[in-house]
């Protein structure tokens, strides 16, 4: 409890960024907003026991959400994929899908999920050139 109070004190002084701490409040739901078309699929995927199938399901949700232009659902699904390689490949595909949905700025927001320098550069170039082909 004391660490929460200290945290909120420093936050109120502007000494730490609010995104870095919870300060006693819930950061929000792990999945997309309840009004999202993907919230039901997200809930079903969360309940899966098979790790590989769960990862693949979240990857598909991320790609489908990006194609629909739902950056929040795409981001939430990417956050649920612990396999770094799959997450990066999926993030690259979501960037392209988001661009195809005329969401260029949102496509740029998903770049943070791509840690591989070569793949990140490739995605950045595609965004800069409005090239949404594979």
pLDDT of residue 19: 38
**SS3 of 1, please?**
coil
Nearest by Cα to 132 from 105, 97, 108, 86: 97
Sites in the chain below the pLDDT cut of 50? 1-29
Tokens 């659902």 belong to residue: 73
pLDDT of residue 56: 95
Give the start-to-end residue ranges of the domains of the chain.
51-134
**SS3 of 37, please?**
coil
pLDDT of residue 21: 40
Q: Are 102 and 69 in contact (CB under 8 A)?
A: yes
As a whole number of angstroms, the distance between CA 58 and CA 75 comes to 10
pLDDT of residue 37: 83
pLDDT of residue 33: 60
């Amino acid at each position: 409890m004391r660490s929460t109070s200290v945290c909120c004190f420093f936050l109120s002084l502007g000494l730490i960024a609010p995104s870095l701490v919870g300060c006693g409040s819930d950061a929000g739901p792990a999945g997309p907003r309840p009004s999202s078309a993907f919230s039901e699929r997200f809930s079903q995927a969360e309940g899966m026991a098979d790790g590989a199938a769960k990862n693949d399901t979240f990857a598909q949700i991320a790609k489908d959400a990006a194609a629909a232009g739902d950056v929040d659902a795409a981001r939430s699904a990417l956050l649920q994929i612990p396999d770094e390689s799959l997450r990066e490949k999926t993030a690259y595909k979501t960037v392209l899908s988001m661009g195809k949905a005329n969401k260029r700025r949102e496509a740029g927001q998903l770049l943070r999920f791509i840690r591989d320098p070569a793949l990140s550069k490739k995605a950045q170039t595609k965004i800069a050139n409005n090239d949404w082909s594979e």
